[in-house]
Amino acid sequence: MNISLADYGVGNLHSIRKALENCGAKVKVLTEMKDLLDAECIVFPGVGAFSRTMEKLLPYRQDIVSRLDSGVPCLGICIGVQILFEGSEEGSSPGLGFIFGKVVKLKGKRIPHMGWNTVETDDDIFSGIESRHFYFAHSYYGNPEENVVVGTTEYYSRFPSLFRKANTYGTQFHPEKSSASGMKFLENFVRFAEGCT
């Protein structure tokens, strides 16, 4: 499986690249977002602020959404799933708009939500994952207006932490920082993406 990893110019891509390679994928880091339009599989990594992350993606927004609508497999991690929404309370830039709804701020005594927490899901992407503990680091989460939530997490209140639409998965947690459970999740995603092509 050839995976195109979007480098928006924010954050460290080393850990997610290494993790995907360890799952058997061939990973190419793309600095030109127009190259995503030819990708066999897309991963939007998970570090950065909303508006800054969208800067390089905005010119190709409609074309990227068309690719995702057509069934190209994709994984969005943390900010990488948040940019799939129409917009965010965190920034003024529009998102890609692939998922209808907005990204909103977590409510609770301690924000950001940092550390290990559980994901409740029955989705097949969690097949073979024994521990449901994953690593989180975020202050915002996607609040969809369509039926795309396939997993949730409790932090002061329950919020969506796993999304699926067409062949796109999104995680609010960081699988690349989530030890054996995260590696199994990424293995499952690579196998899922191979089945889409």
Known catalytic residues are: 78, 174, 176
| Structural tokens at position 89 | 């309370």
Cβ–Cβ under 8 Å, residues 54 and 84 = no
Find the helix or strand (DSSP H, E) in which 94 lies.
none
Phi-psi region of 29 (alpha: psi -120 to 50; beta: other; left: phi over 0): beta
| Cα 63 to Cα 28, 59, 80, distances in angstroms | 20, 9, 17
CA gap 90, 61 in Å, rounded: 19
Cβ–Cβ under 8 Å, residues 29 and 17 = yes
